[in-house]
A = this chain, B = another copy of it.
């Protein structure tokens, strides 16, 4: 399995990926799922991959040479000359479709689904930052202010904290912290997501970045985050009032609200009696 998250903020972009790959629980390996495409001053892009590893590796390989031919132009579009992120993600989508043409039939014969999920984001000189999610069919969607992030892979465990924290105004370091907390929750609950982690933070309009780091479990910041988050979460939980069943003892009684659908649950006390 895999967990990757890409975040688009007014201040820039944040990308985080794990690096565990498994074919069953008894065959676990480490593969990096992030790749950076950078021409300083001209373009900066990050690609995150999830799904079948043979497919995502083929897509990455093809993407280097993929050319999108336009009728109204004799100059084919590549990720290195695309004038917009939209064109770059179209090139990526075409690479996915080329891998599909090569492999899908054989995979199907082997009972393997053609499954790949990609996040690509970045900035090309002349336009703003953009973030996309690309599906197995090569189609894609773009992040918006209402939904400033995409997740691929094992996304559920780590989603609540993203929903609670991220807005377009979140600053970059806070968003990086949020992504790491999201990853920490995911690794705690799913063995198929694991370290080391690759983190990239990109500042708007820089068209390059030095903030690229590989984080393992000895990383002092990650260790602090892991320990403090777990401990303080528990403190918050303990600080919440327990339910009390007798209204006289509390202002927040655990009682049924009158009316609506909130009828108390009927009990079956004899075999014949049914639940209404």
Contacts from A to B (Cβ < 8 Å):
19, 30, 32, 34-40, 60, 64-65, 78, 80, 156-157, 159-161, 163-165, 173-174, 176-178, 180-181, 185, 188-189, 196, 198-201, 211-216, 218-225, 228-230, 232-237, 239-245, 250-257, 260-269, 271-272, 274-275
Contacts and interface: CB of A to CB of B under 8 A. Distances in A.
A160 B157 contact: yes
Contacts of A212: 264-265, 267
Nearest to A35: B275
A180 B231 CA distance: 20
29 contacts: A36-B268, A37-B268, A38-B269, A60-B275, A65-B271, A78-B271, A163-B188, A163-B189, A165-B234, A176-B243, A181-B240, A196-B260, A196-B261, A201-B245, A214-B256, A214-B261, A214-B262, A216-B260, A218-B257, A218-B262, A219-B254, A219-B257, A220-B255, A221-B253, A221-B254, A222-B254, A225-B240, A229-B240, A232-B240
Main secondary structure of the interface of A (DSSP, over half): mixed
Given A233-B233, A261-B30, A243 B189 contact: no
A238 to B, nearest CB: 8
B220 A251 contact: yes
A230 to B, nearest CB: 6
Q: Which 6 A-B pairs have the closest CB atoms?
A: A156-B156, A173-B242, A218-B257, A216-B262, A36-B267, A232-B236
A78 to B, nearest CB: 7
Contacts of A267: 36-38, 212
A213 B262 CA distance: 9
Nearest to A235: B236
A160 B181 contact: no
